[in-house]
Amino acid sequence: MSADPAIPFPSNKPRAVIIGSGFGGLAAAVRLGARGYDVTVLERLDRPGGRGRAYVQDGFTFDSGPTIITAPFLFEELWRLCGKTFSDDIDLRALDPYYRIVFDAGGHFDACADDAAMKQEIARISPEDVEGYTRFMQHSERLFRIGFEKFGHVPFDHLSQMIGIVPDLVRARADRSVYATVCDYVKHPHLRFALSYHPLFIGGNPFRASSIYCMISYFERHWGVHFAMGGTGALVKGLVGLIEGQGGVIRTKAEVAEITVENRRATGVRLASGETIAADIVVSNADTATTYAKLLAKAPRKCWTDRKLDRAAYSMSVFVWYFGTRRKYPRVQPHTILVGPRYGAHVADIFDRKVLAEDFSLYLYRPTAIDPSLAPEGCDTFYALSPVPHMDSGVDWSSKAEPYRQAIARRLSETLLPGLEDEVVTSRIFTPQNFQDVLQSRKGAAFGFEAALTQSAWFRPHNKSEDIERLYLVGAGTHPGAGVPTVLSSARVLDAVTPDPRSMLETC
């Protein structure tokens, strides 16, 4: 599908308009630009990056969302498409350990990069589980070969493709949950947590998400966990540089109000300002449910009807507190998970009962452990993330946010960050209400549709819209799903489903 680079491209390139500048939108822009499209990215916020956008407040640099960077080859590929070298622009550091898990009952677990060190760590906690862990990792690798290598980069536009993968899914016992699968291999509750919690990172419920997601353990092992110096924002900046270097345009504060459609074919977009922009293809990186329900409210939709969108399951949300401290906490690693007293019951509060629990499981990010330039001299930059139910909880975040933040501060003060309340010099919060209002995510879900087998592959909104011609989807709400490597893969899938720009010129 890609254009032959040896033949110069005519100057009247077909135009691709991309709605949203999350990692999926930016990666799609690079790929479409490399294939010969004239690319315009429209972003409603004041800066690019979506969930990955960065901001500076009182001299502290905050990454707003993704922090754990895996599969660097997906970034390297984007740089190569532009004739550039990733490492010339981005200083990516491999972490070891990847992260620390601190348990409520005492004790911790370090996820180590090195296999032998990891087995030692397993043995330290439960010697009898080392053999089970080894077998689990073999199983995780098998799932990775199916879930990522075989299916993660191909479109699922036809039911026959879904039927084709059923034997693999049956063999992999994809009907079982991540947690149930992990329990087959290890006994110690801390290890059961450490090997099963990963779906939460992409908004899935470990007790419900298909065992296919057990592949994340091997995924980490295979590619490692990395940190981009300058923070995740450095990756966004790098991608923006690639797009601009290709001659593409990124317009911020440009909210799309409608995707214009004629005869079931996308013809461009209308901005909230009233401006219209014609396009040969439209790619939406905005929340997929919102794309269909709001940006295509007037368009005929047979597949993604309002009723179907209402019945879909949406991921959990998160409450994030960004803060800077006047002192350093040198013992705190870049990534720490502070597990609360309950696992299954807490997850059920979030996903099933949809109530805001009194207790927490927190993820604490301290980028200044690696890059001190992200805070003023002698200070630390942090964010603390608490998984919470999406907006169906009915929580009034306008009144609940501050007490909730204070409760998190108390918890951190009692555990990882002694005396925290007196050390905070800058602070900001982002609630499910903000996910809904600022990022336009349906129900304030932090990761779009919930990661579930019944909402995956062919069952997920397709990368090539089922309802509207010349409309394509990229990002967490489409195939293959949420998470940075995954949305970069969704941009890869676009190469296979969007038309070769040369063929479009011939038909113009």
Ligand X SMILES: Cc1cc2nc3c(=O)[nH]c(=O)nc-3n(C[C@H](O)[C@H](O)[C@H](O)COP(=O)(O)OP(=O)(O)OC[C@H]3O[C@@H](n4cnc5c(N)ncnc54)[C@H](O)[C@@H]3O)c2cc1C
**Total residues found in the chain within this entry:** 508
- From residue 342, alpha-carbon distances to 105, 106, 178, 188, 435 in Å are 10, 14, 17, 15, 26
**Shortest CB 385 distance to ligand X, Å:** 5
322 close to 429: Cβ distance less than 8 angstroms: yes
Beta bridge partners of 320: 385, 430
H runs (alpha helix) in 91-226: 115-125, 130-144, 159-171, 178-185, 189-196, 215-223
- Per CB under 6 A, which region of 63-71, 81-89, 390-398, 462-470 contacts ligand X? 63-71
Among residue numbers 397 through 456, which ones bind ligand X (CB under 6 A)?
A: 439-440, 446-447
43 lies in the binding site for ligand X (CB under 6 A): yes
CA–CA separation, 356 vs 339, rounded Å? 16
Residue 60: count of CB within 10 angstroms of its CB: 24
Q: Nearest Cα to 236, choosing from 339, 90, 432, 133?
A: 90
Of positions 13, 17, 18, 21, contacts ligand X by CB under 6 A: 21
443 close to 351: Cβ distance less than 8 angstroms: no
**Shortest CB 64 distance to ligand X, Å:** 7
Closest to ligand X by CB, 208 or 335: 335
Q: In this structure, what token pair is assigned to residue 401?
A: 């946010």
Closest to ligand X by CB, 89 or 255: 255
User: By rule CB under 6 A, what string of x and - marks binding of each residue 67-86 to ligand X?
Assistant: xx------------------
Of positions 18, 30, 42, 215, contacts ligand X by CB under 6 A: 42
Closest to ligand X by CB, 65 or 204: 65
Of positions 33, 36, 50, 72, contacts ligand X by CB under 6 A: 50
Residues in CB range of 159: below 8 A, 6 or more apart = 458
Q: Nearest Cα to 388, choosing from 344, 446, 338?
A: 446
Closest to ligand X by CB, 169 or 431: 431
266 lies in the binding site for ligand X (CB under 6 A): no
Beta-sheet pairing, 15-19 with 38-42: parallel
316 lies in the binding site for ligand X (CB under 6 A): no
287 close to 356: Cβ distance less than 8 angstroms: no
- Per CB under 6 A, which region of 44-52, 91-99, 145-153, 416-424 contacts ligand X? 44-52
Please give the DSSP secondary-structure letter assigned to residue 295.
I
44 lies in the binding site for ligand X (CB under 6 A): yes
Beta bridge partners of 335: 365
51 lies in the binding site for ligand X (CB under 6 A): yes
Of positions 16, 487, 494, 504, contacts ligand X by CB under 6 A: 487
User: By rule CB under 6 A, what string of x and - marks binding of each residue 273-312 to ligand X?
Assistant: ------------xx--------------------------
Chain residues that interact with ligand X, rule: CB under 6 A: 19-25, 42-45, 50-52, 65-68, 201, 255-256, 285-286, 318, 320, 385, 439-440, 446-447, 475-476, 482-484, 487
